[in-house]
Chains A and B, each alone.
Chain A
Amino acid sequence: MEIAMSIVIGIVFSVAVYMLLSRNIIRVVLGTLILSHGNHLLLITMSGLQRGAPPLLNFNEESYTDPLPQALVLTAIVIAFGVTAFLIVLVYRMYKEHELDDLEDLRGSIDE
């Protein structure tokens, strides 16, 4: 299962990098979004995909799952949410100001 997940994560990362390298700003934003999804999958996979009860004392189960990656993923999701929201507003404002959505046109010159 971990191997399958690793392949999936690899595909997600390559899609994200491809999107990040494109010229359209919306695609770049979507690329960062997909990149964060790849991250979250990686975080959850890296401790091993176990099945079991939550690690609380009153469950009396045989196996327990590691709660830490889940806490990390939750935190990472919240952060990615905040950053993406900010980025979308920024892209919107940038488009309003420049009326351009192609990064090739947004390079800027040295002397301005």
Chain B
Amino acid sequence: MKPIRPNDMMLQVTIRIVAIIIFAFSFYLLLAGHNSPGGGFIGGLMTASAILVLYLAFDVKSISKALPINFEMVIGLGLLLALGTGIVSMILGFPFLTQFFDYFQFPVYGEVELTTALPFDIGIYMVVVGAVMAIILRIEEDDI
């Protein structure tokens, strides 16, 4: 039996906008995570759901072409990044995972607090996105 391709133009048009909104919100959550609700895990789940929504509306092939990412590799990179921030503090002579933070002045944005927890959080973010997508694509791939 041939799979029926429904005419889902409405869905595709809406999803394009919705996906962008989810992406933006997920980045906000990632960056807000240090002192307010949010963080790498939540942000990563959000991003993964944004990508998933795209997969739902379009077919797998076209999205895989648009996002040619090996998600298992993303897990590895994220782990390396998260661990790397801990190791850097070790190389500098502090105990493993010691945090540093400072305030910087940026031209337009004003004063911003930058911490070493941010690269750690980005690492977690990448791990979560990679893991969710790898798992879902693994199930999805052998269905066809």
Q: Which residues does A use to contact B, with CB under 8 Å?
A: 74, 78, 82, 85-86, 88-89, 92, 96
Contact = CB atoms under 8 A, between A and B. Distances in A.
Contact of A85 (B41, B132, B142): B132
B29 interface: no
A41 to B, nearest CB: 19
A85 B138 CA distance: 11
A20 to B, nearest CB: 22
Contacts of B132: 85
Interface of B: 41, 131-132, 135, 138-139, 142
A86 B139 CA distance: 11
Contacts of A89: 135, 138-139
Contacts of A88: 135, 139
Given A82-B131, A85-B131, A85-B135, A96 B142 contact: yes
A88 B131 CA distance: 13
B93 to A, nearest CB: 27
Contacts of A86: 135
Contacts of A78: 41
Contacts of A82: 131
A83 to B, nearest CB: 12
B79 to A, nearest CB: 13
Given A82-B131, A85-B131, A92 B41 contact: no
Contacts of B135: 85-86, 88-89
A40 to B, nearest CB: 14
Nearest to A75: B41
14 contacts: A74-B41, A78-B41, A82-B131, A85-B131, A85-B132, A85-B135, A86-B135, A88-B135, A88-B139, A89-B135, A89-B138, A89-B139, A92-B139, A96-B142
Nearest to B135: A85
Contacts of A74: 41
Given A78-B41, A85-B131, A92-B139, 11 more contacts: A74-B41, A82-B131, A85-B132, A85-B135, A86-B135, A88-B135, A88-B139, A89-B135, A89-B138, A89-B139, A96-B142
B129 to A, nearest CB: 13
A81 to B, nearest CB: 8
Contacts of A92: 139
Among A74, A78, A88, max chain B CB count under 10 A is at A78
Nearest to A82: B131
